[in-house]
């Protein structure tokens, strides 16, 4: 395994640990400041107060509706009872629904509900069937708790469903003189996420290809490359996300020549590598449950490396490096570093659970403070007359899964 691959694996481990730490911190302490939480609590108190003042508002012809959006109901799936259920479970009542799935780490699981439990009441309401329970869930207007009764193993039990964790979104509606007016809709933009994907930078490699062509390689040895890209982002407030991105790509080639004097075979190899890293800052907007849009920029550093190797004739122990400093083997590494800036826009579509489909497009700009350089064992030299154009500049595109929380 090469040094580059070892470094890639090490980076994956390091940033995996960083992501785990961020997830733990976000779940334990939240990503909002104390002031943000106070503001949110104040908003909720105002909304609850408005909701409780229905009699006074009705006299003015004003009705306020507050509805919370529950992504996976409250942690369980249910269906109507049939005769087989009634017989097998020895259930003698004519109402209720049967639970057939419990989500992990959900309010239902925390309340102790299990598969095959029969839910009988939800709050103060008797559950006649699955459609009635669906209506009750859709019209939840509290963020605190809901008492329920359920049947298990011939006995009726009571428990409480706590809703603190599932109300990230809500919808506020206003009706004036029987005319509905929606005045606010809010959706959460997430806390953190990460992705690993192929990406493309449509750079111009003509200068590098001209050099390789002069060395008898193919005229277009370097084609537009696809990069192996990894990135993560986390919420920092005001719908802003800070993150980091790491990307790399490489290609290689070889050619054979004949020495015009000695007629020895000449073998040449080349390897072209590019890698970059950067810090990203994005602003998100979520128009509905399924879609998140964002715009932002990346600031970072990129490096291009051309490695050239040549062997004349056969390998000979005495000619690897003789006493006069001559050798039949040559090695050269050329490299160029650049400052990178990339504005970009992105869109994400929710597939299921925390998995989204993410697409990002932008334009990369490269600025070089140092031109192409050649490094020896003890020194590094700037190569005179080397082209100054950026090898990173061009349109960028990424399509990948996004794991977000």
Q: Which residue did the predictor score with more confidence, 145 or 109?
A: 109
pLDDT of 254: 86
CA distance 314 to 92: 92
CA distance 193 to 203: 28
Residue 384 banded pLDDT, cuts 50, 70, 90: confident
Closest by CA to 251, choosing from 198, 207, 210, 306, is 306
Q: ∠117-145-37 over CA atoms, to 5°?
A: 140
Domains of the chain: 3-28+191-404 (2.40.160.20), 32-69+172-187 (no CATH), 70-166 (2.30.42.10)
For residue range 5-54, list pLDDT tens digits in order.
555 555 555 555 555 554 544 444 444 444 455 555 555 555 555 555 55
Cβ atoms of 296 and 283 closer than 8 Å:
yes
pLDDT of 397: 93
Cβ atoms of 393 and 203 closer than 8 Å:
yes
The model carries a pTM of 0.56
CA distance 226 to 271: 15
Q: Is 20 helix (H, G, I), strand (E, B) or coil?
A: helix
Judge whether residue 250 has pLDDT over 60. yes
CA distance 104 to 102: 7
| φ, ψ dihedrals at 319, nearest 5° | -115, 5
Residue 248 banded pLDDT, cuts 50, 70, 90: very high
Cβ atoms of 111 and 144 closer than 8 Å:
no
Tokens (6 digits) for 263: 């007629």
Closest by CA to 188, choosing from 18, 33, 70, 55, is 70
For residue range 144-160, list pLDDT tens digits in order.
678 899 999 888 999 98
CA distance 52 to 197: 50
CA distances to 26, 88, 289, 339 from 188, in Å:
14, 43, 9, 34
Cβ atoms of 356 and 348 closer than 8 Å:
yes
Q: Which residue did the predictor score with more confidence, 53 or 77?
A: 77
Residue 165 banded pLDDT, cuts 50, 70, 90: very low
Q: What is the mean pLDDT of the chain?
A: 77
Q: Which residue did the predictor score with more confidence, 57 or 244?
A: 244
pLDDT of 313: 73
pLDDT of 52: 58
H or E stretch covering 43: helix 34-52
pLDDT of 50: 56
| φ, ψ dihedrals at 67, nearest 5° | -130, 125
Judge whether residue 347 has pLDDT over 80. yes
pLDDT of 322: 61
Give the range among 116-125, 250-259, 288-297, 373-382 with minimum mean pLDDT. Answer: 373-382
CA distance 236 to 192: 10
Closest by CA to 129, choosing from 171, 85, 98, is 98
pLDDT, mean of residues 299-328 = 78
Residue 228's contacts (CB-CB under 8 Å, 6 or more residues apart) are: 196, 198, 247, 248, 249
Q: What is the DSSP letter of 165?
A: T
pLDDT winner (highest mean) among 80-94, 270-284, 318-332: 270-284
pLDDT, mean of residues 301-325 = 77
Q: For 291, how many CA atoms within 13 A lie in the half-sphere containing its CB?
A: 6
Q: Is 125 helix (H, G, I), strand (E, B) or coil?
A: strand
For residue range 128-139, list pLDDT tens digits in order.
888 888 888 766
pLDDT of 16: 55
């Amino acid at each position: 395994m090469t040094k580059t691959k070892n470094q890639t694996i090490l980076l994956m481990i390091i940033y995996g640990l960083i992501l785990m730490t961020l997830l733990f911190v976000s779940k334990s302490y939240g990503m909002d400041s104390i002031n943000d939480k106070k503001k949110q609590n104040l908003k909720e108190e105002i909304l609850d107060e408005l909701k409780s003042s229905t009699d006074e508002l009705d006299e003015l012809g004003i009705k306020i509706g507050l509805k919370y959006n529950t992504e996976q109901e409250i942690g369980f799936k249910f269906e109507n009872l049939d005769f087989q259920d009634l017989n097998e479970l020895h259930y003698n009542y004519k109402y209720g629904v049967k639970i057939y799935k419990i989500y992990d780490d959900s309010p239902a699981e925390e309340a102790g509900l299990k598969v095959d439990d029969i839910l009988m009441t939800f709050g103060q309401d008797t559950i006649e069937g699955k459609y009635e329970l669906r209506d009750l869930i859709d019209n939840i207007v509290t963020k605190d708790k809901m008492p329920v009764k359920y049947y298990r193993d011939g006995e009726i039990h009571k428990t409480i469903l706590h809703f603190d964790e599932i109300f990230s979104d809500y919808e506020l509606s206003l009706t004036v003189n029987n005319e509905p007016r929606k005045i606010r809709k809010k959706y959460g933009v997430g806390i953190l996420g990460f992705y690993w994907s192929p990406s493309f930078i449509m750079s111009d490699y003509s200068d590098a290809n001209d050099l390789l062509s002069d060395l008898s390689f193919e005229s277009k040895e370097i084609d537009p490359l696809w990069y192996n890209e990894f990135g993560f982002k986390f919420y920092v407030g005001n719908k802003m996300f800070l993150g980091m991105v790491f990307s790399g790509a490489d290609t290689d080639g070889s050619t054979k020549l004949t020495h015009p004097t000695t007629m020895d075979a000449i073998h040449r190899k080349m390897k072209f590598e590019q890698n970059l890293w950067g810090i990203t800052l994005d602003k998100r907007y979520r128009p509905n449950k399924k879609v998140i849009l964002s715009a932002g920029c990346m600031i970072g550093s990129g490096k291009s490396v051309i490695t050239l190797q040549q062997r004349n004739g056969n390998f000979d122990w005495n000619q690897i490096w003789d006493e006069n400093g001559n050798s039949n083997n040559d090695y050269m590494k050329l490299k160029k570093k650049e400052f990178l800036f990339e504005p970009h826009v992105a869109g994400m579509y929710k597939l299921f659970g925390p998995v989204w489909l993410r697409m990002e497009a932008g334009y990369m700009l490269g600025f070089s403070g140092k031109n192409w350089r050649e490094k020896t064992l003890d020194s590094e030299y700037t190569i005179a007359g080397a082209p100054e154009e950026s090898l990173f500049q061009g349109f960028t595109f990424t399509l990948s899964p996004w794991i977000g929380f």
